[in-house]
Amino acid sequence: MGAGHAHKLYRHGHSPVHALPAHCKIAAVFCFVLVVVSTPREAVWAFGLYALLIAAAAAAARIPAGFLLKRLLIEVPFVAFALLMPFVAEGPRTEVLGMSLSASGLWGAWNILAKGTLGVAASVLLAATTELRELLLGLQRLRMPPLLVQIASFMIRYGDVITDEMRRMRIARLSRGFEARGIRHWGVLAKSAGALFIRSYERGERVHLAMVSRGYTGTMPRLAETTATRTQWTRAAALPLAALAVCLLGWTL
Amino acid sequence: MDPLSTTAPAPSLAVSRLAYAYPDGHQALFGVDLTVGRGERVALLGPNGAGKTTLVLHLNGILEAGAGTVEIAGLPVGKEHLAEIRRRVGIVFQDPDDQLFMPTVREDVAFGPASAGLRGDALDERVTEALTRVGMADFADRPPHHLSFGQRRRVAVATVLAMRPEILVLDEPSSNLDPASRRELADILRSLDVTVLMVTHDLPYALELCPRSVVLSGGVIVADGTTQQLLCDEELMRTHRLELPFGFDPRSVDVPL
């Protein structure tokens, strides 16, 4: 079952970044990403400055660089597509290391790579400094539809329960001498997945019953109301504002 | 309070001639009569498929009676005051993972009272009180899935205690518990001054905790008496597929009163 007492993405700490209310941080990251995305791709130096801004934020949050870089690996499968672009895109071609590559493809790949990496880095930083629970409350505070917040919070709550059920089913299969070796065994795996789906569905019904029994009428009661002070908003805004300045420079220069 | 309380207090639970058939036509209850007085602890025994769960789901209006009535402390179960009925009837379901659906223990215990409109300090106080009564106050900020099974069951009890129920309904409270957790739960249940209706297959547990038992079989109450009397009635036990664990003799037990 669960390994620690917090989610793996979260890194416990008491830095000024940790202390900011979740909704400020979410808004800040969102604006930062918007600014990064709207920067012209030719302004290469601007992306370097963005990376520095992220590094500064990470330093303020006392998140070691290694931690951040390791988490960034999640991006790799998405980047694979970007790497293909110089080979398949149309247009004038240039020579790089003896290979003929499309110039617009190179720019496109750079665009995806740089903007994607910065976006992921900002999100990783957010996840490392904000507990999942806080993130959900933050989203609620930012007026995300309550139904979506409820769905997300149930996913967090029951993710472990369902993984555990899946693990038990796998052990039961192994104990009876089954090991998925090839395409012939996919049928069994598909049936297990179906059984898991039905079990989860039935659990859903039982959970709903338990909720109704305790007075659930369709909306979650709001418990803690965290409000952010002006200073906290200002601090959180430092990152996107600095990025905005860089972005404007990128457009004018 | 209610008009009936001027004379004697209304019984916590009064079920009369309750019958129910599922939409698919399968009839589960054929006229159940059951009265549980305030402060009593009663075990509801019966073989699988006797209609125990169906009966429990009538107590807080999840299922609507086909015929007959259910009253909780004088208040008839019906659409008009479902919220109050659900506050008065605290059902603890068998699997605590179904019952504990919020990210932390504190929020889960707060869910019921908060749904009823409680906020702020009063809510915190209620949560702490409920968790203290089951000895779980130190675990308030833990996520439920990081607790042991026994601890989760105790938190599940706290989630309904927080609503200050008139009657606590426990579905198989001792299932999946190790002997120590079983005893801890028994101590907690004994220390509560609420009416308890306990659905169980665990006959020694029923004998330990409930002075009175009723047997539900084939959709009707077939026996109602002191737990020891019922468990010693071999004829009754055999007819209704109730079996004692190997080597357990209910006559040999001194029942705590």
For residue B212, the model assigns a pLDDT of 96
Which of B95, B112, B144 has its CB closest to that of A206? B95
Indicate the length of chain B as a whole number: 257
Tell whether the model's pLDDT for residue B124 goes beyond 90. yes
pLDDT tier, A217 (very low <50, low <70, confident <90, very high otherwise): confident
Place of tokens 């426990």: B170
CA distance A210 to B156: 10
Q: How far, in Å, CA of B234 to CA of A71, rounded?
A: 66
**A131 near A10, Cβ under 8 Å?**
yes
- Per-residue pLDDT at B79 exceeds 50: yes
- ipTM associated with this complex: 0.76
Domain boundaries, chain A: 16-139+227-252, 145-213
Q: Does the distance separating the beta carbons of A136 and B91 come in below 8 Å?
A: no
Q: Does A48 touch chain B (CB under 8 A)?
A: no
| Chain B contact present for A184, CB below 8 A | no
pLDDT given at position A143: 85
Q: What is the pLDDT of residue B5?
A: 47
pLDDT in tens, B81-107: 888 999 999 999 998 988 888 888 998
- CB spacing of B101 vs A161 below 8 angstroms: no
Q: What is the pLDDT of residues A73-116, one digit of tens each?
A: 888 888 887 888 777 777 777 777 777 777 788 888 888 889 99
Give strand pairing partners of B13. Answer: B36, B72
Residue range A170-197: average pLDDT?
Answer: 82
pLDDT of residue B6: 53
Q: What pLDDT, on a 0 to 100 scale, did the predictor assign at position A1?
A: 36
Question: What is the model's pLDDT at position B169?
Answer: 95
pLDDT tens digits, one per residue of B205-216? 999 999 999 999
B102 to A153: CB separation less than 8 angstroms, yes or no: yes
Question: Once rounded to an integer, what is the mean pLDDT over residues B9-24?
Answer: 92
A158 phi and psi angles, rounded to 5 deg: -100, -5
Return d(Cα B170, Cα B195) in angstroms, integer. 11
Chain A residues with CB under 8 Å of B98 CB are 203, 206-207, 209-210
Question: Number of folded domains in chain B?
Answer: 1
Query: What pLDDT is stored for residue A65 in this prediction?
Result: 87
Residues of A in contact with B144 (CB under 8 A): 157
Instruction: Mark yes or no for CB contact A157/B91 under 8 Å.
Output: no
Closest residue in chain A to residue B101, using alpha carbons only: A157
B172, B43 in Cβ contact below 8 A? Answer: no
| Residue B87: domain span | 9-95+166-251
Token couple for A150: 């409820």
How many residues are recorded in chain A? Answer: 253
Instruction: Scan residues 147-176 of A and list those with Cβ closer than 8 Å to B.
Output: 153-154, 156-158, 160-161
Mean pLDDT to the nearest integer, A179-206: 85
Model confidence band, residue B76 (pLDDT cutoffs 50, 70, 90) = very high
Contacts by residues B175-178 (CB-CB < 8 Å, ≥ 24 positions apart): B175/B94, B175/B202, B176/B149, B177/B149, B177/B150, B177/B153, B178/B150
pLDDT score of B75: 93
| Residues B168 and B161 sit within 8 Å (Cβ to Cβ) | yes
Whether residue B110 and residue A206 make contact (CB cut-off 8 A), yes or no, is no
- Residue B91's pLDDT is 93
Asked if residues B209 and B186 have their Cβ atoms less than 8 Å apart, the reply is yes
Nearest to B210 by CA among B45, B35, B8, B11: B45
Looking at the partner chain, which of A5, A153, A203 has a beta carbon nearest the beta carbon of B98?
A203
* Dist CA B207 CA B226 (whole Å): 9
Q: How far is CA A133 from CA A159, A210, B142, in A?
A: 14, 22, 12
The DSSP-derived string for B7-64 is SSPPPSEEEEEEEEE-TTS-EEEEEEEEEE-TT-EEEEE--TTSSHHHHHHHHTTSS-
Taking only the tens place, the pLDDT of each residue in A179-190 is: 777 787 788 888
Q: Do A214 and B112 touch (CB under 8 A)?
A: yes
Taking an 8 Å cut-off on Cβ atoms, the answer to whether A213 and B91 are in contact is yes
Q: pLDDT confidence of B171, banded at 50, 70, 90? A: very high
* Closest Cβ–Cβ partner in B97, B101, B160 for A154: B101
Q: How far apart are CA B94 and CA B211, in angstroms?
A: 22
Chain A residue with minimal CA distance to B106?
A223
Question: What is the percentage of chain A residues whose pLDDT exceeds 90?
Answer: 17
Residue A217 burial (CB count, 10 A) = 11
Coil, strand or helix: which one is B159?
helix
CATH label of the domain that carries residue B180: 3.40.50.300
Going by C-alpha positions, the residue among B19, B195, B227 that lies closest to residue B90 is: B195
3-state SS class at B178? coil
Tell me which residues of chain A, numbers 202 to 221, contact chain B at a CB-CB cutoff of 8 Å. 203, 206-207, 209-217, 220-221
pLDDT score of A3: 38
**Chain A closest CA to B40's CA: distance in Å?**
22
Q: State how far residue B217 is from chain A, nearest Cα, in angstroms.
A: 24
Question: What pLDDT score does A224 carry?
Answer: 64
Closest listed residue to residue B78, CA positions, set B60, B93, B66: B60
Mean pLDDT of A190-206: 89
pLDDT 10s digits, B146-167: 899 999 999 999 999 999 999 9
Q: Which two tokens stand for residue A164?
A: 């555990």
Rounded to whole angstroms, what are the CA distances from A59 to A24, A46, A63, B45?
18, 20, 6, 63
- Measured between CA atoms, the residue of chain A closest to residue B99 is A210
Strand order in the sheet with B212-217: B89-92, B167-171, B195-199, B41-45, B212-217, B220-226
0.80 surpassed by pTM: no
pLDDT range class, residue A6, cuts 50, 70, 90: low
